[in-house]
Structure 1
Amino acid sequence: MSSSRRPTARRSRAAVLDSSDDDPIGRSGPKAYHRSRSGCFTCRLRRKKCDETRPFCQSCATYALKCVYRPPQWWATNEQRGGQRERIKGRIRQTKVMEKNCSLREYVNKIKALCEEDPATSSFGISQAMLPEPNPFAISAQGPYQRSASIPGALIGLPIEPKPEPPALPAPIIPFDINIGSGQQMFLNNNPLQNNLALSEFGTMNLAMPTPPLASNEWFANNYNPLQPFDPINLQGGFAYPNRSLSTCLQTMMPVEEKDRHLVEHFLDNFMLLIFPIVDAHQAGPARIREVFGLMQNNRAFFHCCLSVGAIHLKSSMGMEDQMDHDIMQHRYDAMSQLCRHLNKKSGYMQVIDASLALILFHCSLGEPDDYLPDVPWTSHFQGVSHLVKKLNHAPSQFNVSLIAWIDIIAATMEGATPLFSHTYRTKHLSGHTSGLQQLMGCDDRVMYLISEITCLESLRLEGLVDDMAILSHVTALTRQLDWTEPVDPRLEVPFTSGGAVVPERLTKIITALYRIAARLYLYSLLPSVDYNDLAITTWLDTMVEILKYIPAGSSGFDRCLVWPLFIAGALASPFSNFRRVLTERVVALGYLGKLGSFGKMYRVLKEVWRESGGLVPPTGDEDDSHDAAEDPDFPINTDGLIITWQLEDPPQEPERTEVPELRQVHWRDVMKRNKWNFLLL
């Protein structure tokens, strides 16, 4: 008996020694570690080691795979896991092939080389722009904004003659200078300061009244490429959406491969209804549709951009995991390859501009806050656009002028820098010329020009080129200019007729009012030692809440057009402000659209700002509310896809002590830098 037991004991000891090889400290072998049960499910499916970095582990980030730490849908059965494993293998093969082509990296490098190129060697000069109106961006092409003036240029146009007081608003706004004062004194933290800088030093030229907005038929009149006859659209009555879809019209105009047909159809029939709501309100479709169809026909980079966006929207709207990732990346790389070809040939710059602007705008309309797929940042796209505009031998289309101005001004507020074409906006503001911004995004051009000037002032402040007294003077002057944009009739009306049709004049008046308040908040935040509980800030936020009541919440409203004003207001809203609750309710009303594009990114940043400031974040009843718990390494994760049963502890016998959270002011830009968020919140 003893002899028969001895081999068994030897085998058991050998098994113990063999199992020690699985220890990561031991010898290398087929299994050199104990696989973690808290790693991401993608690594578990691939049987790879996971470093458990949140939100993306290194292994998933290397191959642009979706990294999930909660049980995904495909984890339920072995059959679903097998299908997901094959999709992951295909994505890895695609990533390796595309890395060899280096389309994304090559495009970024070419943009950098373009930015470093000497303007004297450009193939086209700005003076060659021979269209009836000179190149609207030629003014600032000679160099960056000159900071030697040390004051924003909009102060030159400070109105001297007093403006008649308009009637009171339904929800009255406290005058901006409540803590700044007027006349000979200004106030800093309620302490009087002597006003040593007379506003008359900034100039004596009266502000020119702006010219009337361009008619809707003028706005698209300057397209760079003539389009072919377009029969499916009735130019008198607009496009008949109920009778015929946009995708069926495109089939008669250009051939589309069968494998891409569903992406084209989804882009035209679904996404096209989301990207230009203000343009749609001003005109019933034909000009916009003709423009997009023409670009899809004649610009392959734009075409692949549309297909990639169609795949993204299909993935988001249908709640897919990563089934569309292959199509998204394939067309994204194809678009970049087409752009690289144009840059290599040093021709087709207008096509590069059109495609680059589409890549920026579409991603702002649809991109997710945590996009794990590789992409070119919007900053690179816009750098290329800003430099290529100076190389054109003619002016861009009016639509592109409006889009570039919109991106430039909002991008400058994101980075705290001077807009690239700030001098152009300053000149247009003083001469009363519009850029078509009101027809594109709903805000009066004059207010957008003043936001550009406020950004110039912030840039000077961040660089230490102005002291506190100068900031106070500039804030006072810019405040008066914002007052100058107030309408004579401040009454607001619901922007819909009794039949449900949108009244564009009412809508743009509401949007302009919200942008104007956001501009005041943005300007006020530049004051030294600003307090978010200040009476002026709380009153403006309450007024914004009242104005939002004119716009219905949900997908039938226009909240996705108000990303920037909602963001500025939310960033300055104290934990006790009613604005936080109202904004959260409107996010919930949007459904899945509230998670996409700039709107979803805006709310993501605001939640982090509110969390770091010590206040409570209003719950939305969504999975994202448990984001912090999911990123906690100690958070229990179900490895088998089963429901976790939480065991609540018995309540303490002693009465609970409610701890008041420590409240502090957190700047949203610091939060974005810490989280490495490079968002453009259009």
Structure 2
Amino acid sequence: MHRRSRTGCFTCRLRRKKCDEGKSSCRACKNLGLVCDYKRPMWWSTGEKRRQQKEMIKNVIKHTQLTKKHSQAVPLSANTPPSLCHSIPTSDGFNDHAVHTRAPSVESQLSSSCGFQHTAPEGYFAMGPPQHVVSHSQYPMFSPYEVDIKTERQIFVNDVPTRRDSTISTFSTYQPPPISSGILDYPIDSWVQQDYFESQRETFAEEPVDFNFFEYPHGPLTPSHEAVIDVEECDQHLLNHFLDNVLRLIFPILDVNQHGSARSDVILPGLEANRCYLHCCLSISAVHLKATQGLEGEQIDNDIMRHRYATISELCEALGRDTDHAQILEATLGMIFFQCSVGTPDDRLRDIPWHQHFSAATSLVNKLELPASLSTIGAATPTHPPFNMTLASWIDILGATMLGRSPVFADTYREQNMAGATLGLAELMGCDDRIMFLISEIACLEARIADGMDVNILCKYIEILGTEMGKTEPLAGQITSAISATGAIRPKQLCANMTNVFRLAARIYLCTLVPGYQNSNVSIVNLVAAFADAMNFIPAGPEGFDRSLVWPILMAGSVSLPQSQFRSMFTERCSRLGEAADFGSFGRVRELLKDLWSMNDNTYACGERQSVHWRDAMQQKGWDVLLI
């Protein structure tokens, strides 16, 4: 073991390799043809830029090694990786050789030359450490090897290629790369021993990823499937804007938990096979385009209303035929949920209220018998909940709190909770199912209060729900940073941290139902302070997850006092979020809290303690929106 250098070049630091600190270029960078930076480069500023730089470096190294060892191999550009396919794969996979539309890629040539044996994704994560690593018992068991999965997608619009994306995902594994003579002769100390011993204090073992958790509405699709999206030429810019700028806003937690699944398993199949869904997405794209680029005029408003009308028309036609229920449900849920990611708080082109759409979605869920399909999912059986049922449950539970009524499928959630089963809510939106089920029970309790529940019975129910919530409290040390030392998101830790935020928000929601509650109560003040502290473990900024916590922020912010730590925390995180803080549900809740604080702070200054409820503030603004 050598003492780790803290003055090596930033390129070697990024690669976690030993640097000889040679000037003006270290030996490793010189041999590999890399730029050697001793001054802090621009790409070191964020985790995303570091990942991009690391991908570029890997391509340069591959190019250099291939040039040395295999002059007959296909040249590899440092900036443009070779295409693995000519269309968008709508299902992520690890088998590059499954694509039969082109000649073998450089990666497949390397795999065959090195003698790699195909291993299923779960196999990489299930395998134990190799024997020669186990013998070093004095070192903690971290995963010393990395597996790079390259995915390339190309979009065809009317059979015309419009865009191609290339991504490389790095996973840690205990399976060592096989040693082969004659190709990629990395120095022995930099490939295994150096990488293992230097990284043991700085990296976390990658968490297993379940790529087949949900039952998606379009069924399993092969990696080589070509998604062909048919749009009019005048709408092509809307489709491109949706794919480039809106898609990444819609299911950020799903993308973290199941890399690329939102795009390949949910959005692209819907755009390809469901015209109603396509019109919905084009309308949402126009709303986002108008809000973010400040477009005004009849053209953009016409695009919004034209596709919105087309969506409703096709929905009505399908409902009249009483066919294609799954496609109608998919489009209806999209009309409800996608609106939460776009638009400004003062958007003049209001859509039909979300709960009217959800009434139609409820009928479709029952026709498709999705709640009944959950009865086969128990704690001991494989979990493959229908994706649209999970999405509908997310909207149902939190939407019920918007309206002060019981969730439509509250009985289903209660049965799932008693059976210890899962709906996949943690994988989709970040909060553990048990907390979401308890929020459903709190919403049911609030609805019964409106019907005139006895005070003693109410207090007993509050006590029971508080006790059940206490059983889900995290142990000491379980809430920690969700970002590894390499800058990667740790999906399970992120969900644990987000669940903690939702748990505190649910406790605040429950406390507001206590008879005689006031915002100045010690219990409320302490919960809001704990909430502000819990937000420190949620990544902030444009690439963070504040926009996935709109409902918890509303619950905590609505009861925060003028000098509360919450307000300074919220202001700081809005500043870090930048322009993105002005749009979608986050922008709406920010505007709502500003008005709510203005009204309540004035009453507190006058010595009154009766605060305005956030629902009343929404009603005064004429808002009938879903804030999730």
Q: State the Cα distance separating 1:380 from its structure 2 match.
A: 1.1
Instruction: Work out whether residues 614 and 662 of structure 1, in 8 Å CA contact, stay in contact via their aligned partners in 2.
Output: no
Deviations 1:322-355 (A, max 9, x none): 4521211111111111111101111111111000
Rounded Cα–Cα distance in structure 1 between residues aligned with 2:609 and 2:564 = 13
Distance change >3 Å, CA 483–CA 377, structure 1 → 2: same
Instruction: Work out whether residues 230 and 290 of structure 1, in 8 Å CA contact, stay in contact via their aligned partners in 2.
Output: no
Question: Mind listing any 5+ residue stretches in structure 2 that lack a counterpart?
Answer: 1-206, 375-384
> Does the residue aligned with 2:338 lie in a helix, a strand or coil?
helix
For 2:517, the equivalent position in structure 1 comes to 530
Rounded Cα–Cα distance in structure 2 between residues aligned with 1:536 and 1:393 = 42
> Does the residue aligned with 1:330 lie in a helix, a strand or coil?
helix
Instruction: Work out whether residues 342 and 352 of structure 1, in 8 Å CA contact, stay in contact via their aligned partners in 2.
Output: yes
> Which aligned pairs between 1:124-523 and structure 2 lie closer than 5 A?
216-220=210-214, 222-226=215-219, 229-231=222-224, 253-286=228-261, 288-322=263-297, 323-392=299-368, 395=373, 398-464=386-452, 466-523=453-510
For 1:102, the equivalent position in structure 2 comes to none
1:554 and 2:500 correspond: no
Q: State the Cα distance separating 1:452 from its structure 2 match.
A: 0.5
Rounded Cα–Cα distance in structure 1 between residues aligned with 2:412 and 2:261 = 30
Instruction: Work out whether residues 308 and 332 of structure 1, in 8 Å CA contact, stay in contact via their aligned partners in 2.
Output: yes
Rounded Cα–Cα distance in structure 2 between residues aligned with 1:479 and 1:214 = 33
Q: State the Cα distance separating 1:579 from its structure 2 match.
A: 1.1
Rounded Cα–Cα distance in structure 2 between residues aligned with 1:347 and 1:214 = 39
Instruction: Work out whether residues 209 and 258 of structure 2, in 8 Å CA contact, stay in contact via their aligned partners in 1.
Output: no
Q: State the Cα distance separating 1:410 from its structure 2 match.
A: 0.5
Rounded Cα–Cα distance in structure 1 between residues aligned with 2:262 and 2:397 = 25
Distance change >3 Å, CA 486–CA 663, structure 1 → 2: closer
Q: Which residue identity lines up with residue 623 of structure 2 in the other structure?
A: W
Normalising by the residue count of structure 1, what TM-score does the alignment of the two structures yield?
0.57
Q: Which residue identity lines up with residue 528 of structure 1 in the other structure?
A: P
Instruction: Work out whether residues 291 and 343 of structure 2, in 8 Å CA contact, stay in contact via their aligned partners in 1.
Output: no
> Does the residue aligned with 1:231 lie in a helix, a strand or coil?
coil
Q: Which residue identity lines up with residue 545 of structure 1 in the other structure?
A: A
Q: State the Cα distance separating 1:378 from its structure 2 match.
A: 0.7
Instruction: Work out whether residues 459 and 514 of structure 2, in 8 Å CA contact, stay in contact via their aligned partners in 1.
Output: yes
Q: State the Cα distance separating 1:474 from its structure 2 match.
A: 1.0
Instruction: Work out whether residues 408 and 420 of structure 1, in 8 Å CA contact, stay in contact via their aligned partners in 2.
Output: yes
Higher relative contact order (CA closer than 8 Å, sequence separation 6+): 1
Deviations 1:201-224 (A, max 9, x none): xxxxxxxxxxxx99733323x233
For 1:671, the equivalent position in structure 2 comes to 617
Deviations 1:533-554 (A, max 9, x none): 1111111111111111122432
Question: Mind listing any 5+ residue stretches in structure 1 that lack a counterpart?
Answer: 1-212, 233-248, 618-658
Distance change >3 Å, CA 287–CA 266, structure 1 → 2: closer
Larger-Rg structure? 1
Q: State the Cα distance separating 1:293 from its structure 2 match.
A: 1.3
Q: Which residue identity lines up with residue 615 of structure 2 in the other structure?
A: R
Distance change >3 Å, CA 516–CA 286, structure 1 → 2: closer
Rounded Cα–Cα distance in structure 1 between residues aligned with 2:552 and 2:229 = 40
Deviations 1:39-85 (A, max 9, x none): xxxxxxxxxxxxxxxxxxxxxxxxxxxxxxxxxxxxxxxxxxxxxxx
Rounded Cα–Cα distance in structure 1 between residues aligned with 2:501 and 2:263 = 26
> Does the residue aligned with 1:666 lie in a helix, a strand or coil?
coil
Instruction: Work out whether residues 575 and 616 of structure 1, in 8 Å CA contact, stay in contact via their aligned partners in 2.
Output: no
Q: Which residue identity lines up with residue 422 of structure 1 in the other structure?
A: A
Deviations 1:473-514 (A, max 9, x none): 111111100001112345322111122211011111110001
Rounded Cα–Cα distance in structure 1 between residues aligned with 2:331 and 2:515 = 42
RMSD: 2.3
Deviations 1:436-461 (A, max 9, x none): 10001100100000000011111111
Percent identical pairs in the alignment equals 40
Rounded Cα–Cα distance in structure 1 between residues aligned with 2:527 and 2:221 = 50
2:529 pairs with 542, 549, 553, which one? 542
Query: Number of paired residues?
Result: 409
Q: State the Cα distance separating 1:612 from its structure 2 match.
A: 1.4
Q: State the Cα distance separating 1:608 from its structure 2 match.
A: 1.8
Q: State the Cα distance separating 1:615 from its structure 2 match.
A: 4.5
Instruction: Work out whether residues 493 and 506 of structure 1, in 8 Å CA contact, stay in contact via their aligned partners in 2.
Output: yes
Q: Which residue identity lines up with residue 225 of structure 1 in the other structure?
A: H
Distance change >3 Å, CA 269–CA 500, structure 1 → 2: same
> Does the residue aligned with 2:212 lie in a helix, a strand or coil?
helix
Distance change >3 Å, CA 586–CA 389, structure 1 → 2: same
Distance change >3 Å, CA 327–CA 338, structure 1 → 2: same
Distance change >3 Å, CA 680–CA 338, structure 1 → 2: same
Q: Which residue identity lines up with residue 608 of structure 1 in the other structure?
A: D
Instruction: Work out whether residues 230 and 272 of structure 2, in 8 Å CA contact, stay in contact via their aligned partners in 1.
Output: no
> Does the residue aligned with 2:224 lie in a helix, a strand or coil?
coil
Rounded Cα–Cα distance in structure 1 between residues aligned with 2:574 and 2:270 = 33
Rounded Cα–Cα distance in structure 2 between residues aligned with 1:256 and 1:672 = 38
Deviations 1:346-398 (A, max 9, x none): 11111110000011111011132222114221111100010111122665962
Distance change >3 Å, CA 514–CA 309, structure 1 → 2: same
Instruction: Work out whether residues 482 and 539 of structure 2, in 8 Å CA contact, stay in contact via their aligned partners in 1.
Output: no
Rounded Cα–Cα distance in structure 1 between residues aligned with 2:357 and 2:563 = 39
Q: State the Cα distance separating 1:317 from its structure 2 match.
A: 2.0
Rounded Cα–Cα distance in structure 2 between residues aligned with 1:562 and 1:665 = 23
Deviations 1:242-261 (A, max 9, x none): xxxxxxx75xx233322111
2:579 pairs with 592, 612, 621, which one? 592
Rounded Cα–Cα distance in structure 2 between residues aligned with 1:296 and 1:223 = 14
Instruction: Work out whether residues 360 and 378 of structure 1, in 8 Å CA contact, stay in contact via their aligned partners in 2.
Output: yes
Distance change >3 Å, CA 671–CA 552, structure 1 → 2: same
Rounded Cα–Cα distance in structure 2 between residues aligned with 1:454 and 1:268 = 38
Deviations 1:392-414 (A, max 9, x none): 26659621111111100001111
Distance change >3 Å, CA 374–CA 667, structure 1 → 2: closer
Rounded Cα–Cα distance in structure 2 between residues aligned with 1:401 and 1:490 = 34
> Does the residue aligned with 1:487 lie in a helix, a strand or coil?
coil
Distance change >3 Å, CA 214–CA 440, structure 1 → 2: farther
Normalising by the residue count of structure 2, what TM-score does the alignment of the two structures yield?
0.62
Rounded Cα–Cα distance in structure 1 between residues aligned with 2:475 and 2:547 = 27
Rounded Cα–Cα distance in structure 1 between residues aligned with 2:484 and 2:510 = 35
Rounded Cα–Cα distance in structure 2 between residues aligned with 1:404 and 1:445 = 14
